[in-house]
Amino acid sequence: MDKSENGTLIVKIICLLLSVVLWLYISNVENPLRTYELKGIPVELTNEDSLVDSKFAIVNKQPFTVDLKLEGPSSEILKVKKEDFKIVADMSAYALKVGENTIPAQIMSYPENITIKNNGMLGIKVNLEELTQKELTISSKVKVTYKENIYEKEQNINPKTVTITGGKSSVDKVTDAILTGEEKDVDKNKQGDYNIQFIDSFGNAVSNIESNIKTAKLSITVTNGKTVPVNVKTTGNVPQGFVLDGYELSKNNVTVLGDSQVLNKLESIDTEAVDMSSLQPDSEVDVKLNLPEGISIGDGDGSIKAKFKLKKEENTTKNIECNVQYKNLSDTFLVTNQSLVSNVKLSGTQEALDKISSQNLSVILDLANVKEEGTFDYTPQATLVNANNVTVSDVGNVSVTIKKKG
């Protein structure tokens, strides 16, 4: 750095120091008058109870403030803070109405040696509305978790209702009064006081509301429990022409509550018998659970919904080989075949055919018309015995060899 640059820097520093000294001299020795606007000074509302007496409430109540134009010695102005001023607005001193009201603000105290230039023009705008009440039933949104095999039996809230008071716009927003909080790993009966929160239909908290109580007592009663599968019991058969194609339950498992000794022996829960003969295709029925004594359901009213799927049964066929008996053969002839066998074709529903065997068929060949020796093809007659929903659709021929006796 050369000498000229050093000289310039020194001059700048000297000028800065002289400016500071001059400012300090003017501020502390000369101490000239100075004006200053102090913004956002809080205003205290007094006699707010008079609003309630007049059935008014402040809309969306927020802090009220005013701006002051101050004049005074520079040294005093520099020390001024918002906390040095006490400003009030008396809510009982004026006739009020629904809507916007201008309430004069009075300066009760302020720093000495300070003049307030706009003292006579101070006021705040207060928007008022009708004061209303509403009673709400309290519900619990307390988050509760339980230890393994411990289940909630019931919850009770005391008191059950709360009365809220406030401006109509705020009160009308409130849809629910809820208890908030959290309890973890509960393993025995428990009770406690929880804060009441007021929310709108979207779950948002509503402010500017007063209530006759701030908390309510939540009592939690617990019991032992376990989860078991549901067994559907039936009686009768599905209507003729249909077959059961399965069913769906609203709950395949249910939580049962009760004494631990009874629960230890319980592996499943049966339903009361469903009459299958009364079902229609895709029938949905309410089925009661057959609960043992001392056992209750932890998540429902003791019944489930069962949807039974029925479909029309299509006919199919089945072939059965049957021994053939003959009759009415003349005493002068005999049959030389060791055995006669015919293939009988049956038609019917699969369920019905599955029950049919050769024991249900009588196959007879009438040889009354035989007049000579030879080998002949005949069609025997097949008759069903003790068979429902099955018919004979075809009977195969048999080859019979006839010879004269002797």
Instruction: Decide which of 265, 282, 312 is a domain's last residue.
Output: 312
CATH number, domain containing residue 103: 2.170.120.30
Q: Are residues 24 and 43 in the same domain?
A: no
pLDDT tens, position by position, 156-177:
999 999 999 999 999 999 999 9
Residue 93 contacts residue 45 (beta carbons within 8 Å): no
Q: Are residues 142 and 123 in the same domain?
A: no
Instruction: Name the band, by pLDDT with cuts 50, 70 and 90, for residue 110.
Output: very high
Q: Are residues 116 and 35 in the same domain?
A: yes
Q: Are residues 337 and 384 in the same domain?
A: yes
User: Residue 147: in which H helix or E strand, if any?
Assistant: none
The mean pLDDT value for 109-127 works out to: 91
Instruction: Decide which of 95, 113, 130 is a domain's last residue.
Output: 130
- Count of domains in the chain? 5
Q: Encoding tokens for residue 372?
A: 């000579």
Q: Are residues 305 and 253 in the same domain?
A: yes
Residue 171 contacts residue 132 (beta carbons within 8 Å): yes
At residue 316, the pLDDT reads: 87
The top-scoring range by mean pLDDT among 11-20, 60-69, 234-243 is: 60-69
CATH number, domain containing residue 186: 2.170.120.40
How far lies 358's CA from each of 173, 197, 308, 323, 399, in Å? 80, 79, 34, 8, 20
State which amino acid sits at residue 141: K
Residue 146 contacts residue 224 (beta carbons within 8 Å): no
Instruction: Decide which of 192, 223, 254 is a domain's last residue.
Output: 223
Q: What is the DSSP annotation of 7-19? A: HHHHHHHHHHHHH
62-71, 124-133, 147-156, 170-179: least confident range = 147-156
pLDDT tens, position by position, 343-372:
999 998 888 889 999 999 999 999 999 999
Q: Are residues 166 and 185 in the same domain?
A: yes
Q: Are residues 304 and 355 in the same domain?
A: no
Check: pTM over 0.75? Answer yes or no.
no
Distance CA 115, CA 83 (A): 16
Distance CA 197, CA 131 (A): 20
Q: Are residues 161 and 251 in the same domain?
A: no
Mean of all residue pLDDT scores within the chain = 89
Q: Are residues 338 and 302 in the same domain?
A: no
How far lies 318's CA from each of 85, 201, 374, in Å? 106, 66, 32
Instruction: Name the band, by pLDDT with cuts 50, 70 and 90, for residue 243.
Output: confident
Find the domain containing 366 and state its range. Answer: 315-404
> Cα 343 vs. chain centroid, distance in angstroms?
63
Q: Are residues 14 and 41 in the same domain?
A: no
Of residues 364 and 282, more confidently modeled: 364
Residue 28 has pLDDT above 60, yes or no: no
Q: Are residues 43 and 12 in the same domain?
A: no
Residue 383 contacts residue 346 (beta carbons within 8 Å): no
Residue 298 contacts residue 256 (beta carbons within 8 Å): yes
Q: Encoding tokens for residue 350?
A: 């699969």
Q: Are residues 319 and 308 in the same domain?
A: no
Please state whether 329 falls in left (phi above 0), alpha (psi between -120 and 50) or beta: beta
| Percent above pLDDT 90 for the chain | 64
